[in-house]
């Protein structure tokens, strides 16, 4: 990357103002309060795990890691100090990277910088893992075009390793871009590109060293990675909800624009086209994250704007003008695709509620709310247990099943959190067993506050069969009030000595007759995706067709969604 030629003070000031605008638009403000609900409950546990001495990979397992609270910080323990320290360093690093790209180099045209800032502003507030990912991909862009390639690429590698402690899927996104960079530099530079391979391999090394410094247990490290991988993989088949057809069509149009513009840029300028190709993994991960569930589409469209803003920052518009003169029809198509790539996400995001505030008013409102969240981390009106429950529990330990963990913040009880923070994330028998071992082990809580609440119309007692079997075996109901059932550990657990009484092979639509018996009968169903199902799981989602209807002898029926992998456990 060439150093900036001599520019007028006004020109430099304008470029600095662009940097400041991007920094303002991406300013990380992720403070929140303890509250009731599905997401607030896991956010609460992610924040109190550290102060309580709980270790991710040993005591706690979820989609986030030890630094996951940074994406929704509650002012408990040293969390606020860690938050300000982490994002203070990252903000300063991002400011330096943007200054290098926008002010100091000739690679970035002023028009490109302005377009890039507009796209970042259009994306609005993004999750913490996307904020770090933006810094990773910006570093990769500087490594591609800059003269300090190793320095910039090293920064990207370090940030990718940090992402593994915030959100494991964010680390995968960053790694996809880092490895694509290696492959493409090998293609361009030959063996000289191997130095980047060794640098990329530092990401897992840094992660391992960092985790062992956090928790010196190799078995916990293995469990942390294994659980994170299973949660990410199981999410595709267990959490899928079909999005509105219009949203999916808009997303596919964005991907088509990326693919078409990539092909044309490769034709016009191979070096710049290969740079765009390095982002293919980031686009794919954003699509997967945004469209496994219908309610996550904004994640994809914000990602498209962020990644596209980095194209605008580095592409050579002078080369495009020359391409226009030589190839008018392809150049016209390229111009249309390049305009549509950010225009489609802008159209979608501008329809969202709250967008009328814009980047300035919205950010000011966020900043204004920080002081109150620091001073008063507990939001009023939370889940208060019935007084009769609290009198019964007394000083004994209690767990909440299946999801409302923030009950612990609103009641003076000795909480035992579920190892897998919320049961809906137990997408596989191995994940289900994490919670089952709690209720069947020596450290089991004395009481369980139980409710039948589930997501996506799931069958509550079949959602996590191993966990439910342990609760059924070791606990008995002692009270029921306000929609909650209070269970107490019994001295005489149910003996789970199952033996096979029948088996059959059938199609997924065939009825299964449960044999009559005077004893408890459990079933196990082994389901396997066909070839088309595996392709859908890899590139999109498994259609949510796994519904079970139960017909009782008395004529009653019950239907709901099940987790396909977990049906292999005794249910």
The β-bridge partners of 550 are 558
The β-bridge partners of 105 are 3
The b/e string for 329-346 (b: 16+ C-beta within 10 A; e otherwise) is: eebeebeebbebbbebbb
Specify the higher pLDDT residue, 298 or 241. 298
Query: Mean pLDDT throughout 127-146?
Result: 94
- Cα–Cα distance, 419 to 432 (Å, whole number): 10
Task: Say which range, 507-516, 524-533, 535-544, has the weakest mean pLDDT.
Answer: 535-544
Phi, psi angle pair for 512, to nearest 5°: -115, 120
- Cα–Cα distance, 261 to 267 (Å, whole number): 10
Query: Mean pLDDT throughout 566-571?
Result: 84
Total residue length of the chain? 571
Query: What pLDDT does residue 521 have?
Result: 83
- Cα–Cα distance, 425 to 239 (Å, whole number): 9
**How crowded is residue 384: how many other Cβ atoms within 10 Å of its Cβ?**
13
Query: What pLDDT does residue 478 have?
Result: 93
pLDDT tens across 189-227, in order?
A: 888 888 899 999 999 999 999 999 999 999 999 999 999
What DSSP character marks residue 173?
Answer: H
pLDDT tens across 387-414, in order?
A: 999 999 999 999 999 888 889 889 999 9
Check whether 132 has a pLDDT greater than 50: yes
Check whether 121 has a pLDDT greater than 70: yes
Residue 402, preceding bond cis, omega within 30 degrees?
yes
Phi, psi angle pair for 105, to nearest 5°: -110, 160
- Cα–Cα distance, 232 to 230 (Å, whole number): 5
Query: Mean pLDDT throughout 470-496?
Result: 88
Query: What pLDDT does residue 323 have?
Result: 64
Closest-CA residue to 143 (of 274, 251, 33, 18): 274
User: Who's near 80: CB < 8 A, 6+ residues apart?
Assistant: 31, 73, 374
pLDDT tens across 255-303, in order?
A: 999 998 888 888 877 888 889 999 999 999 888 888 887 667 888 999 9
* Sheet arrangement for strand 414-415: 414-415, 397-401, 447-450, 484-489, 475-481
The β-bridge partners of 60 are 56
User: Who's near 23: CB < 8 A, 6+ residues apart?
Assistant: 91, 94, 95, 98
Confidence of residue 22 (pLDDT cuts 50, 70, 90): very high
Closest-CA residue to 308 (of 254, 389, 243, 264): 254
CA 484 to chain centre: 30
| 156, 174 contact by CB (below 8 A) | yes
| 409, 417 contact by CB (below 8 A) | no
| 188, 180 contact by CB (below 8 A) | no
- Cα–Cα distance, 305 to 311 (Å, whole number): 10
Closest-CA residue to 140 (of 275, 330, 265, 231): 275
Inter-axis angle of helices 79-98 and 9-25, to 10 degrees? 150
Query: What pLDDT does residue 518 have?
Result: 78
Query: Mean pLDDT throughout 352-368?
Result: 76
């Amino acid at each position: 990357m060439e150093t900036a030629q001599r520019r007028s003070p006004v020109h430099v000031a304008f470029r600095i103002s662009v940097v400041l605008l991007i920094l303002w638009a991406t300013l990380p403000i992720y403070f929140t309060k303890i509250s009731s609900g599905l997401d607030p409950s896991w956010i609460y546990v992610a924040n109190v795990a550290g102060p309580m001495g709980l270790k991710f990979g040993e005591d706690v397992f979820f989609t986030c890691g030890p630094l996951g609270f940074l994406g929704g910080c509650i002012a408990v323990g040293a969390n606020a100090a860690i938050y300000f320290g982490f994002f203070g360093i990252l903000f300063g690093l991002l400011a330096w990277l943007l200054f290098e790209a926008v002010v100091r180099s000739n690679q970035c045209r002023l028009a490109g910088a302005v377009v890039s800032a507009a796209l970042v502003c259009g994306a609005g507030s993004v999750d913490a893992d996307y904020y770090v990912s933006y810094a990773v991909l910006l570093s990769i862009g500087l490594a591609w075009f800059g003269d300090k390639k190793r320095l910039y690429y090293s920064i990207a590698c370090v940030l990718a390793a940090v992402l593994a402690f915030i959100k494991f899927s964010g680390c995968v996104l960053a790694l996809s871009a880092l490895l694509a960079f290696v492959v493409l530099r090998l293609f361009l530079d030959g063996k000289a590109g191997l130095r980047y391979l060794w640098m990329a391999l530092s990401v897992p090394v840094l992660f391992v060293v960092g985790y062992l410094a956090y928790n010196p247990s190799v078995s916990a490290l293995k469990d942390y990675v294994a659980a994170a991988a299973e949660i990410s993989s199981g999410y595709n088949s267990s959490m899928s909800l079909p999005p509105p057809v219009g949203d999916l069509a808009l997303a596919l149009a964005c991907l088509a624009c990326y693919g078409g513009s990539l092909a044309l840029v490769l034709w016009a300028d191979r070096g710049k086209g290969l740079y765009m190709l390095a982002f293919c993994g980031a686009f794919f991960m954003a699509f997967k994250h945004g469209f496994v569930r219908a309610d996550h589409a904004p994640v994809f469209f914000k990602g498209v704007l962020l990644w596209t803003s980095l194209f605008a920052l580095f592409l050579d518009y002078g080369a495009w003008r020359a391409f226009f003169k030589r190839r008018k029809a392809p150049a016209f198509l390229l111009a249309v695709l390049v305009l549509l790539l950010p225009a489609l996400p802008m159209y979608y995001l501008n329809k969202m509620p709250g967008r009328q505030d814009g980047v300035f008013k919205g950010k000011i409102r966020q900043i204004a709310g920080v002081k109150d969240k620091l001073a008063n981390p507990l939001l009023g009106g939370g889940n208060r247990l019935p007084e009769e429950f609290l009198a019964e529990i007394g000083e004994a330990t209690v767990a909440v099943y299946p999801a409302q963990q923030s009950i612990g913040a609103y009641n003076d009880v000795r909480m035992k959190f579920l190892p897998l923070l919320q049961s809906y994330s137990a997408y596989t028998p191995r994940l289900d067993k994490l919670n089952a071992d709690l209720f069947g082990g020596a450290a089991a809580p004395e009481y369980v506050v139980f409710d039948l609440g589930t997501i996506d119309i799931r069958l509550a007692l079949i959602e996590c069969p191993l966990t439910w079997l342990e609760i059924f075996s070791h606990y008995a109901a002692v009270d029921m009030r306000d929609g909650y059932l209070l269970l107490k550990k019994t001295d005489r657990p149910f003996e789970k000595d199952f033996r096979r009484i029948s088996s059959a092979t059938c199609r997924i639509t065939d009825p299964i007759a449960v044999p009559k018996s005077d004893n408890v009968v459990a079933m196990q169903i082994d389901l396997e995706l066909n070839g088309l199902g595996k392709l859908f799981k890899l590139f999109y989602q498994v259609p949510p067709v796994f519904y079970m209807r139960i017909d009782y002898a008395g004529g009653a029926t019950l239907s709901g969604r099940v987790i396909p992998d977990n049906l292999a456990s005794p249910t």
